[in-house]
Structure 1
Amino acid sequence: MLFGIALFPEKEVQDAANSWRIRHDPHYCHIPPHMTLREAEDWSDEKLQQAISHVKAVAVQTPPFLMTFNRVSTFFPVSHVLYYALEDPAPVIKLHQEICSGPLAITQPKYVYTPHVTIGQQLAEGELHDLHGKLKISQIRYTSHVDRVHLLYQTDQGAWTAYQSFQLEG
């Protein structure tokens, strides 16, 4: 079974992201707007139990924090993804590094981790540039309180749902 770890921003951010995702993100129906902390991976029952213990330990040591989205950016030319970017990504990067250590260590990451909330993906190049040009001049400022992380699994229908949530307690 595929498992991943993510955090979900508050409703205001999700509503804003969904206003774009409904038309520009083919994964709109499968998962709410989120920030991936650890990419999806197929885990055995043993690995799942190790992951739960590890994430629980990280959550106990991590204090809740605020994150502010202040602009729209893109991963072009690497991928045709449009996303809300963070004013200060350091707290999310630190959480990602803690999650992706020990039994969940990633030995050869595919990319440099960039915390973000996707608002469009698999866009044609022209559409990506058009949307990015319009949105980068917009005033964007969404603040979200982060007080938990979620271990997710993918259902047989392709949707992602919470397996377990972990309160940040540090």
Structure 2
Amino acid sequence: MSTLKYGIAIFPSKEIQDLANSYRKRYDPRYNKIPPHITLKERFEATKEEINDFTSELEKIAKEIEPFDIEIKKVSSFSPVTNTVYLKVEPNESLTTLNKRMNEGKLPKSQQFAFVPHITISQELSEDEHSDVYGSMRMLEFDLKDHIDRFQLLYQLEDGSWTVYETFKLGN
């Protein structure tokens, strides 16, 4: 029985994706594998049968959470754990609840790190590159707002890129 790799993410508005991509083109080697996103659930493996169970669970979760707004005001970094620079999504109860629900019930508990809502703009850089990029970007201020009304279940293709398996609209 073959398994695929899945993940759950929110794709922000085109405006935010374009901004993130303006940096990702230069600083993210996975730029062409997936659009800018907020990871709700890290990658996990599942069979076709398991995914059918999970999708009904995800439909239930989506109905419980009303659409909500997010804000991005600055850049941050996961250094020294990883040399990742990201657009920091301000903490938000709806996002936190979504992430928590994604690791309960039938869904696999696959969370390695504490949930920090973010949109990656650089990763896999050397120490020096990371220092330069983060150094020049951490002074920037943003005033980005977005309305979130859905999340996506994604799966990974053989070339390492990700594609949408199903979209779940929030609220009723």
Report the TM-score when normalising by structure 1. 0.94
Residue 136 of structure 1 and its aligned partner are, at CA, apart by: 1.4
- Identify the residue that residue 119 of structure 1 maps to in structure 2: 121
- Identify the residue that residue 164 of structure 2 maps to in structure 1: 162
Mean alpha-carbon deviation: is it higher for 73-82 or for 139-148?
Answer: 139-148
Percent identical pairs in the alignment equals: 37
- In 2, the alpha carbon distance for the partners of 1:90 and 1:137 equals 26
Deviations 1:21-61 (A, max 9, x none): 01111111110000111111120122101110111000011
- Identify the residue that residue 56 of structure 1 maps to in structure 2: 59
1:149 is paired with a residue whose SS is: strand
> In 2, are the aligned partners of 1:4 and 1:38 still within 8 Å (CA)?
yes
Structure 1 unaligned residues grouped into runs of 5+ = none
- In 2, the alpha carbon distance for the partners of 1:66 and 1:31 equals 22
- In 2, the alpha carbon distance for the partners of 1:139 and 1:169 equals 32
Report the TM-score when normalising by structure 2. 0.93
Structure 2 unaligned residues grouped into runs of 5+ = none
- Structure 1 stretches of at least 4 aligned residues deviating more than 2 Å after TM superposition: 87-91
1:40 is paired with a residue whose SS is: strand
Q: For residues 43 and 35 of structure 1, do their structure 2 counterparts lie closer, same or farther at Cα, with a shift above 3 Å needed?
A: same
Aligned AA for 1:90?
Answer: E
> In 1, are the aligned partners of 2:44 and 2:108 still within 8 Å (CA)?
no
Deviations 1:98-139 (A, max 9, x none): 1221011417x3211111000000011111122112111112
Q: How many residues align?
A: 169
Superposed CA RMSD in Å reads 1.3
- In 2, the alpha carbon distance for the partners of 1:65 and 1:100 equals 20
Aligned AA for 2:67?
Answer: P
Aligned AA for 1:135?
Answer: M
